């Protein structure tokens, strides 16, 4: 037996490689409805693509017999336990492969699959501080760039590497027409190589399964424009901490606050921005200390907002007074989330006092927050829990923004002639709309006392 075959050891080394039998890829696709009764299964071509990819991946890797090279939901979509099975695979697969098509981006289920994997990759980047591009898109049917939602549009991926005919016809065109068989084989082989390369380079660690039934969609509602979302951070700098407070969690700016240190090596607001963008919003960030407060709750909002509060920030009496004044105004389009780290022994020891001070300072906002997510208002104790709870808070802010933003009647037609049926202009025209993320099911992440972050 050669050294390469001996227990998975690499020639010339004495270190065995730990076995990793997770699926290399999750194939995410939109199911095509049958045309008429008794017709052929239109998804048979996707299944052929899946089999071809699995064959190449098995040839390119050392996965043992019986280990899954990839996963597609063809067998389980209508069976019992499909939500749990999808959540488990999305929490463990190495690469996410979405099959682009117009039907794909109209599918709420596909958007849920995308976000479930994307939030895992975002948390991996927060731990490693390295770009984590573990989504490898494939063109099933070409989609014009202007029809791509933000998360897909931002992917840095050159489809031209897979062939010119692949770009113009997509894998569906290549697989259906025999004259393109060679181009199909080339494209699938290159796609498999990319999957294996990305899986090995990024090495995204497993995460906790997301409850697929209530997960948000990465595509948001059908919209005609961008959806802004402001993230405001109320936190001290390392130069203004109360006496004895550990400075490891802070920097020169409030935006440097990293409550989940040392597991996370990036500021929390960077992770929050990535999560918000993965929900098809345009994120902007500002420090609460630098924000200009217009304390007039009767004015319509210009954007929804999430206020991220460090309870240690309340030791500064001026900041505490400004937060109290902010809380006294009716601003339901501003949602609050309170991160803390249960591994931070100072925060844990002072939790009761810190929580009481925040309750005394911002009772209205905390009351509103508990109606959305108890954990967000009570305190989010881990980075992984933050990644699951933030979408609830974002969605609550967006829905309240729709209820309170100004709506303007359309301008009369030039010349005084008849106009078409009038349509109101306002936040809906800016890309907002109702999503399928049910407010009544928002606490899909465990509450603070039950959240198990043992995988972190």
What was the pLDDT predicted at 143? 93
Q: Hey, which bits of 147-297 come out as E strands? A: 228-234, 282-287
User: Residue 118 in contact with residue 278, Cβ under 8 Å?
Assistant: yes
User: Residue 306 in contact with residue 230, Cβ under 8 Å?
Assistant: yes
User: Residue 160 in contact with residue 167, Cβ under 8 Å?
Assistant: yes
Cα radius of gyration rounded to whole Å, the chain:
25
Q: Hey, which bits of 126-226 come out as E strands? A: 138-139
Q: What is the pLDDT along the chain (456 residues), one digit of tens a residue?
A: 433 333 333 333 344 445 678 999 999 999 988 876 667 788 999 999 999 999 999 999 999 998 999 999 875 555 556 778 888 999 999 999 999 999 999 999 999 999 999 999 999 999 998 888 899 999 999 999 888 999 999 998 888 889 899 999 999 999 999 999 999 999 999 999 999 999 999 999 998 888 777 789 999 877 656 789 999 999 999 999 999 999 999 999 999 999 999 999 999 999 999 999 999 999 999 999 988 665 555 677 889 999 999 999 999 999 999 999 999 988 999 999 999 999 999 999 999 999 999 999 999 999 999 988 899 999 999 999 999 899 999 999 999 999 888 654 555 555 555 545 444 445 544 566 644 444 443 444 444 444 443 333
Distance CA 203, CA 224 (A): 36
What was the pLDDT predicted at 156? 81
User: Residue 17 in contact with residue 10, Cβ under 8 Å?
Assistant: yes
What was the pLDDT predicted at 433? 61
By three-state DSSP, how is residue 411 classified? coil
Q: Burial letters for 333-365: b for 16+ Cβ neighbours within 10 Å, e otherwise?
A: bbbbbbbbbbebeebeebbeebbebbeebbebb
What was the pLDDT predicted at 85? 86
Residue 178: Cβ within 10 Å count: 8
User: Residue 138 in contact with residue 104, Cβ under 8 Å?
Assistant: no
**Of 198, 173, 194, 196, nearest in space to 183 by CA:** 173
């Amino acid at each position: 037996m050669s050294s390469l075959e001996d227990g998975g050891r690499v020639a010339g080394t004495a270190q065995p490689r730990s076995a990793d039998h997770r699926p290399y890829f999750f194939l995410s696709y939109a199911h095509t409805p049958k045309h008429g009764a008794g017709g052929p299964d239109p998804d048979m071509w996707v299944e052929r693509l899946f089999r071809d990819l699995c064959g190449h991946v098995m040839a390119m890797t050392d996965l043992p017999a019986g280990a899954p090279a990839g996963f597609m939901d063809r067998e389980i979509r209508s069976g019992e336990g499909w939500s749990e099975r999808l959540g488990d695979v999305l929490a463990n697969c190495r690469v996410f492969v979405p099959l682009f098509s117009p039907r794909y981006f109209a599918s709420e289920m596909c958007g849920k699959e995308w976000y479930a994997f994307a939030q895992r990759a975002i948390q991996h980047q927060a731990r490693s501080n390295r770009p984590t591009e573990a989504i490898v898109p494939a063109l099933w049917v070409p989609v014009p760039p202007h029809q791509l939602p933000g998360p897909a549009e931002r992917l840095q991926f050159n489809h031209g590497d897979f062939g010119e005919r692949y770009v113009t016809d997509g894998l569906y065109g290549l697989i259906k027409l025999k004259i393109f068989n060679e181009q199909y084989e080339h494209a699938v082989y290159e796609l498999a190589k990319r999957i294996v390369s990305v899986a090995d380079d990024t090495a995204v660690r497993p995460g906790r399964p997301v409850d697929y039934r209530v997960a948000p969609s990465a595509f948001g509602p059908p919209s005609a424009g961008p959806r802004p979302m402001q993230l405001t951070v109320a936190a001290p700098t390392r130069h203004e901490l109360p006496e004895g407070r550990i400075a490891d969690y802070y920097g020169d700016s409030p935006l440097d606050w990293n409550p989940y240190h040392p597991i996370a090596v990036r500021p929390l607001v960077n992770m929050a921005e990535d999560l918000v963008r993965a929900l098809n919003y345009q994120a902007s960030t500002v420090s609460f200390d630098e924000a200009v407060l217009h304390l007039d709750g009767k004015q319509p909002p210009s954007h929804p907002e999430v206020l991220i509060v460090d309870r240690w920030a309340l030791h500064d009496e001026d900041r505490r007074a400004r937060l109290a004044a902010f809380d006294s105004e009716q601003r339901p389009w501003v949602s609050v989330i309170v991160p803390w780290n249960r591994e931070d022994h100072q925060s844990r020891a002072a939790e009761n006092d810190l929580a009481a001070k925040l309750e005394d300072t911002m009772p209205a906002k905390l009351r509103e927050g508990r109606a959305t997510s108890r954990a967000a208002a009570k305190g989010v104790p881990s980075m992984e829990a933050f990644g699951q709870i933030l979408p609830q808070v974002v969605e609550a802010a967006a829905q309240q923004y729709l209820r309170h933003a100004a709506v303007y009647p359309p301008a009369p037609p030039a010349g005084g002639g008849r106009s078409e049926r009038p349509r109101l202009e306002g936040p809906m025209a800016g890309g907002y709309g109702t999503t399928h993320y049910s407010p009544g099911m928002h606490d899909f992440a465990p509450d603070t006392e039950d959240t198990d972050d043992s995988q972190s």
